[in-house]
């Protein structure tokens, strides 16, 4: 039976899923579905600083290595997620107790350690994640407080110094045409203008309360590619509830938004999870059954819709 991976190869795009390392290690159906249907993976949590941390300033790379090794065995494109974020850094960092100089060093050491380790094995990094505040401007976080806006430049420069991966800015709520999408556009335009080594933008495209019009996604992708940037859809999921009423409407939207994004120039689409049993969305009350496979790893109408969208 034709797989998403077959269709993606024919369309010359990557189709991926965010993977949970324990499921990859212990669930045969999960592992086989990922290897059969996808040619790209993102570490859902294993490459975040918190999960990597082992004691004070130490690292335990076992989980991240397992994901990268799995991807290598199955000739998969790897998206590293994420080097600099306001969430999930280790408790020992204690930014409020650090001088600006110490925070600057921590930022540099972390990126050099992690991005350097996976040089040649991670193809794209979400270098900075969710730096734009929902109300406009830069999100107040430990890095902004310590280094000012230049923390973003430094993050990309450190990553570029130790990695040959494509370097992405990744965010949510900036998928279509919105005030936040304009903020992200302005941010990356400025980075490009100042020759900060950014290669692309990740549009997370979490859909739960209302759908993002596919035409707006396409327009946003086009203006970003006009800057010379790649655009990935990095965390696609469509919760059944508010945004779409049932699995058929869900499939229609998956078809429309993936078609529009790929036609506009997106060359990588990653769903935020493999099966509905593993998704973060329902637990947050953001809609149900958002992915392409149900809890028993059976293909849903959304799977066929993405297959058709890639087969255009």
280 contacts: CB under 8 Å, gap ≥ 6: 272, 273
DSSP notation for 95-145: GGGS-HHHHHHHHHHHHHHHHHHTTTT-SEEEEEES-B-TTSSB---HHHH
Q: List Cα–Cα distances, 109 to 119, 122, 163, in angstroms.
A: 15, 18, 14
In the set 37, 44, 183, 235, the catalytic residue is 235
Cis amide bond preceding 54, omega within 30: no
Residues that bind ligand G3I (CB under 6 A): 44-45, 48, 87-88, 129, 172, 204, 235, 280
Residue with smaller CB distance to ligand G3I, 46 or 310: 46
Known catalytic residue at 183: no
CB 266, min distance to ligand G3I, A: 17
Say whether 295 is catalytic: no
Shortest Å, Cβ 281 to ligand G3I: 8
Closest residue to ligand G3I: CB criterion: 280
Shortest gap between Cβ of 284 and ligand G3I (angstroms)? 8
Residue 59 has phi, psi (to 5 degrees) of: -135, 145
- Angstrom distance (rounded) from CA 269 to CA 62: 26
Rg (CA), the chain: 19
Of the listed 37, 44, 130, 183, which one is catalytic?
130
User: Rounded to the nearest whole angstrom, what is the least distance from the CB of residue 11 to ligand G3I in the complex?
Assistant: 25
Active site residues: 130, 235
């Amino acid at each position: 039976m034709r797989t998403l991976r077959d269709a993606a190869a024919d369309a010359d795009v990557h189709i991926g899923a965010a993977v949970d390392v324990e499921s990859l290690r212990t669930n045969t159906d999960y592992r086989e579905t990922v290897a059969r249907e996808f040619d790209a993976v993102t570490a859902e949590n294993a490459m975040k600083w918190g999960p990597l941390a082992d004691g004070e300033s130490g690292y335990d790379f076992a989980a991240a290595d397992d994901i990268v090794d799995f991807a290598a065995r199955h000739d998969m494109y790897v998206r590293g997620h994420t080097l600099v974020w306001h969430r999930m850094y280790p408790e020992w960092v204690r930014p409020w107790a650090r001088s600006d100089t110490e925070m600057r060093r921590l930022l540099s050491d972390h990126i050099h350690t992690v991005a350097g380790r996976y040089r040649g094995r991670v193809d794209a990094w979400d270098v900075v994640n969710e730096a734009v505040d929902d109300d406009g401007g830069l999100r107040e976080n430990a890095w902004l407080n310590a280094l000012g806006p230049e923390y973003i430049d430094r993050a990309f420069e450190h990553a570029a110094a130790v990695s040959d991966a494509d370097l992405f800015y990744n965010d949510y709520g900036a998928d279509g045409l919105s005030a936040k999408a304009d903020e992200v556009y302005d941010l990356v335009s400025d980075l490009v203008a100042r020759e900060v080594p950014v290669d692309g933008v990740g549009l997370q495209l979490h859909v739960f309360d209302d759908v993002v019009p596919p035409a707006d996604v396409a327009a946003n992708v086009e203006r970003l590619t006009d800057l010379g940037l790649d655009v990935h859809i990095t965390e696609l999921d469509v919760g059944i509830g508010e945004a779409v009423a049932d699995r058929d409407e869900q499939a229609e939207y998956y078809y429309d938004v993936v078609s529009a994004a790929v036609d506009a120039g997106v060359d990588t689409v990653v769903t935020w999870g493999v099966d509905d049993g593993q998704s973060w969305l329902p637990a947050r009350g953001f809609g149900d059954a958002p992915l392409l496979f149900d809890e028993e790893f059976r293909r849903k109408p959304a799977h066929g819709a993405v297959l058709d969208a890639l087969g255009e």
